[in-house]
Structure 1
């Protein structure tokens, strides 16, 4: 008989009440999570406990010291405990010191792969703190009374249990729950879209390797593994890396319980410590933290980018330090099996920022350009808002493949799933909506039909990668000036630092006097004419010549932009551009920039031209623009009638107040 999920959570949550007063709410997790893992491991080992003890005694009798392999085989679980202790037996004695001693003995007797999990929880510190607070016996007794055996609580239920505990603890401590796990229906949809197109291929595979470089509690890896095992006899090897110690410990314990290699789950920062360097994978999936700031390890990332280029992970470019999302994407692409090895597919969850942040030639744009020009992007799915526990913002799946077949090459599928949701009866943090199983099936079919058959739909569009590219052109207009001496020009020169220096101390009064003589005269529209006038005024003040630095400051002060002024040229006779009139236009890649200028710009400003040296190529994916539907405004008569109705209602309410 399986356990009721709500009762399980309620029972374990009640244990937190024991901690009230001795622990802050933010620290409840330090006790509840490791004890939950410990009780789960204990229940898993229960059926073979006696067999392990018997094997241990026999090995001791034979004088064998290294028992690890034999005891692991005897347990049948991939891990073991060498003592006859359990939480129930430890709780027989009510003395807090004895309970602490026995609990430490119990933990030390686990195989190394299980013992390491509790080291990441720093569990020994909590044992001592509970002992000093006279709470250890009560907590051990409480957990000894809950049945977490696999027969009663499935691995799926344990995953939900851990995730909901983390979410609730994160809410209490104002942390980001979404950094630890992803809602299960989101994972299911993501796995469907990642693995669904490969159902036939999976049946022919002998071994499938999967990586999640931000694996949290391992929910995505578990879902992907189950999808494959339901459709194939292939051996599935899951790999992951996680930076949060608690999530890392839970992920390893989950694999341990299922008898899988926990050594494939690594601890550390994927950016700075690539624990799977040199490894390649069939499938990769991840939900990295949104908008993660990577300033603290900027030096390591920049060095790899500059020194290794495309031989490293970040050859395509570096995004701004405030958002490392596209670093995760490049990290994952680096770990895809090469096309000549059979290729790979990957899926990653992003917010909207990676779609469009950064202009042409920026780090973000260059990364998008690399992805699209190499035809790696297979599709993007826009998800409903308010799906995640820690944020209500818009989110997207990016699905990439480096082994597109001929029919799929140079095609990118955009699927708009933003309206596919139902409201939850009870909100969980920011999560107020969920995607139903029927909607998951519908979205999976829509994506696969678009991918395999090229079928479009009001919610599906198919593009070529080049459709997202553009050239950012710089449109210049000629600098036109008139020349005159004004009070503002004189004030500017009087405050000028160049003229105020000791070097021009003697020249300054005469220069200002010469210019002041031109105050109030009509503007001059030819530079040569004004230059002759200046020289005449200089001669009147006994100035034979003006040094170039001073002359430059004078011309800056007396030059005034004027659409009717003279077009200015440089020393080679080329027209000078007016920086204040400079504009930029994004021109689709498949359009000639000069044809665009002639059609869109010259009818309005005939003297404009393109500075081709400044042209840059950029890529962006304006998803919402492609699915925008124009809604015409209501008729004015309808709005006017509504306003009059509101006015009458306001007057009625006011009359009631004044009566």
Structure 2
């Protein structure tokens, strides 16, 4: 729990009455951002005002401010928290002036409709009290680190959404899950990241409040303080966007790299590719309202478009973000790109052969893009206890990983949280994280209970249609004009035949031979009159994660089961006798 966040949220008690609890965030969040930026600007405020008097052109002023302060943003107002209260009658107008005089890249207050909120506070007689309270909090990065500031924002958002009975987990991902994703994303190229003068780019299409971007940068700078990581992101929730952008502004990043909007329908970085991409897209979110635009893009973009491999069901858009991220990976000839994405279990296996999800898996595996999938502990996220998985993709795999996928069962690597936060009562500790990363680095089956390395073909299968003849009243098969037996649709069946059945190693190229071998061994002995309708054969791919780590637990002996039942029956009879008495 964030102590700072708790303190800032306590200021919301002053809003009680004119504001309902579910409205507190509309005041607390923008004021927190404003105070953070105010503290950052304070040391150079006089210098910036002098520069503003000298340079009227905003572009020239921005260049001069950057040279003088190292910052990409500024404010030219004569007001600040330190002097806003000196003019009590003009407080609302002066605060509005302060907001208006930020450089154009600081658009975050528009997304809170903050000026409207200022007028509402003034009308309620609360504006002076709120400004005074925030003025006592020192939020300069020297006093409050970026990590602590991020924790504070997330705490405030969670409290706000709890009050509004909304889903806080839609807006951010637990830090422990992000740290594991970042460690895995950078693990394969950690050596490269220590090079002098290294410059890399990182992109998050569902940036939320910027937690993933911030922790990725923290990881890289810990490895190489001289490294430069350019951060890019897009976010469609106005409040989350504002927090993310202001957080990166405070760290000196280019604010134009963070854009507002729906990534699926309006890619803000069209044509751009990145060294690293990461995302925790919303689970099970319906995309029917975007379906027309997405399908039109797929049809017009052709085979190289981002949604060309297939479309998932409109009830769940996770795999759309997966395809989008793959589209954003830097090309192999330019050094390659890596992707880390957190999803629930459905993208592993939903959809039958040649359905949209299956075709997406087929494309990913045949392109050899999937490097590793890690099962996370349940109860890891704030708003759900379901199973979740980290997928790591790479379009320039190390030679020993080519043609293979590593599955890691990390469900047992967790530490109990006290107290819990919503549905989250487990966390991945530093030691837990190290164990999972070590399994990934070892890339072998030395610990088969937790790590398995499988060939891409081991996830492929054919769905075959098995027909049986339609019989006449006399018991003889009904035949068509060519003398072939007609199939009985009521007896029609399908079978899934793995690419690797019987030890086959030819992959999809062995279709005819492997299917026939399977049919002769598994079907024909039981229904000798059956045949395969080859025209209906479909190719599918699934990743049955749980099946690969399933452990058979034999049932106890029958005598032991009988004894246990007799014991329970005796207890029940005793209770019944007591009731009758």
TM-score range, shorter chain: over 0.9
1:394-421 deviations in Å (ceiling 9; x for gaps): 0001111110132211110000001111
Structure 1 residue 229, shift from structure 2 partner: 2.1
Are positions 1:582 and 2:492 aligned together? yes
2:212 to 199, 217, 220: 220
Q: Give the conservation status (yes or no) of the 8 Å contact 1:49–1:75.
A: no
1:165 to 140, 151, 156: 156
1:461 to 452, 458, 471: 452
Find the counterpart in structure 2 of residue 532 from structure 1. Answer: none
CA distance in 1, matches of 2:78, 2:445: 62
- Unaligned 5+ runs, structure 1: 483-524, 526-564
Q: Give the conservation status (yes or no) of the 8 Å contact 1:336–1:343.
A: yes
Q: Give the conservation status (yes or no) of the 8 Å contact 1:456–1:462.
A: no
1:302 to 295, 307, 330: 295
1:195-594 paired onto structure 2 within 5 Å: 195-204=186-195, 206-232=198-224, 233-450=226-443, 455-482=446-473, 525=474, 565-591=475-501, 592-594=514-516
CA distance in 2, matches of 1:392, 1:335: 30
Structure 1 residue 128, shift from structure 2 partner: 1.4
Q: Which segment is superposed worse, 43-52 or 120-129?
A: 43-52
Structure 1 residue 71, shift from structure 2 partner: 3.3
For residue 12 of structure 1, give the secondary structure of its aligned residue in structure 2.
Answer: helix
CA distance in 1, matches of 2:576, 2:167: 48
1:152-197 deviations in Å (ceiling 9; x for gaps): 2100001111111111212222222222111111001001111011
Q: Which segment is superposed worse, 632-641 or 24-33?
A: 632-641
Q: Give the conservation status (yes or no) of the 8 Å contact 2:51–2:61.
A: no
Structure 1 residue 132, shift from structure 2 partner: 1.6
Are positions 1:110 and 2:102 aligned together? yes
Specify whether residues 64 and 350 from structure 1 end up closer, same or farther in structure 2 by C-alpha distance, changes over 3 A only: closer
Structure 1 residue 89, shift from structure 2 partner: 2.2
Are positions 1:87 and 2:81 aligned together? yes
CA distance in 2, matches of 1:222, 1:9: 18
Are positions 1:71 and 2:77 aligned together? no
Are positions 1:13 and 2:13 aligned together? no
1:280-321 deviations in Å (ceiling 9; x for gaps): 111111001011211111111111211212221111011111
CA distance in 1, matches of 2:413, 2:60: 57
For residue 452 of structure 2, give the secondary structure of its aligned residue in structure 1.
Answer: strand
1:494-514 deviations in Å (ceiling 9; x for gaps): xxxxxxxxxxxxxxxxxxxxx
Structure 1 residue 429, shift from structure 2 partner: 1.1
CA distance in 2, matches of 1:615, 1:606: 20
Q: Give the conservation status (yes or no) of the 8 Å contact 1:377–1:412.
A: yes
Q: Give the conservation status (yes or no) of the 8 Å contact 1:49–1:84.
A: no
Q: Give the conservation status (yes or no) of the 8 Å contact 2:62–2:72.
A: no
Specify whether residues 102 and 369 from structure 1 end up closer, same or farther in structure 2 by C-alpha distance, changes over 3 A only: same
Q: Give the conservation status (yes or no) of the 8 Å contact 1:477–1:582.
A: yes
1:196-242 deviations in Å (ceiling 9; x for gaps): 11011223473201111111111111111222222233321111111
1:566-645 paired onto structure 2 within 5 Å: 566-591=476-501, 592-645=514-567
Q: Give the conservation status (yes or no) of the 8 Å contact 1:379–1:398.
A: yes
Q: How many residues align?
A: 567
Specify whether residues 9 and 407 from structure 1 end up closer, same or farther in structure 2 by C-alpha distance, changes over 3 A only: same
Q: Which segment is superposed worse, 49-58 or 365-374?
A: 49-58
CA distance in 2, matches of 1:648, 1:577: 56
CA distance in 2, matches of 1:25, 1:463: 52
1:44 to 40, 46, 49: 40
Structure 1 residue 424, shift from structure 2 partner: 0.8
For residue 432 of structure 2, give the secondary structure of its aligned residue in structure 1.
Answer: helix
CA distance in 1, matches of 2:68, 2:334: 38
For residue 137 of structure 1, give the secondary structure of its aligned residue in structure 2.
Answer: helix
CA distance in 1, matches of 2:210, 2:171: 9
* RMSD over aligned Cα atoms: 2.0
For residue 230 of structure 1, give the secondary structure of its aligned residue in structure 2.
Answer: helix
CA distance in 1, matches of 2:303, 2:484: 41
CA distance in 2, matches of 1:426, 1:203: 38
CA distance in 2, matches of 1:471, 1:395: 27
Specify whether residues 64 and 456 from structure 1 end up closer, same or farther in structure 2 by C-alpha distance, changes over 3 A only: closer
1:558-609 deviations in Å (ceiling 9; x for gaps): xxxxxxx220011111110000000000001134111111111111111011
1:449-489 deviations in Å (ceiling 9; x for gaps): 11xx675532000000110000000000000121xxxxxxx
Output the TM-score relative to the length of structure 2: 0.94
Are positions 1:121 and 2:112 aligned together? yes
CA distance in 2, matches of 1:271, 1:239: 16
Structure 1 residue 658, shift from structure 2 partner: 6.6
Q: Give the conservation status (yes or no) of the 8 Å contact 1:171–1:429.
A: no
For residue 426 of structure 2, give the secondary structure of its aligned residue in structure 1.
Answer: strand
Q: Give the conservation status (yes or no) of the 8 Å contact 2:445–2:451.
A: no
For residue 412 of structure 1, give the secondary structure of its aligned residue in structure 2.
Answer: strand
CA distance in 2, matches of 1:429, 1:620: 32
Structure 1 residue 367, shift from structure 2 partner: 0.5
Q: Give the conservation status (yes or no) of the 8 Å contact 1:357–1:364.
A: yes
Find the counterpart in structure 2 of residue 522 from structure 1. Answer: none
Structure 1 residue 393, shift from structure 2 partner: 0.4
For residue 208 of structure 1, give the secondary structure of its aligned residue in structure 2.
Answer: strand
Structure 1 residue 93, shift from structure 2 partner: 4.5
Q: Give the conservation status (yes or no) of the 8 Å contact 1:468–1:620.
A: yes
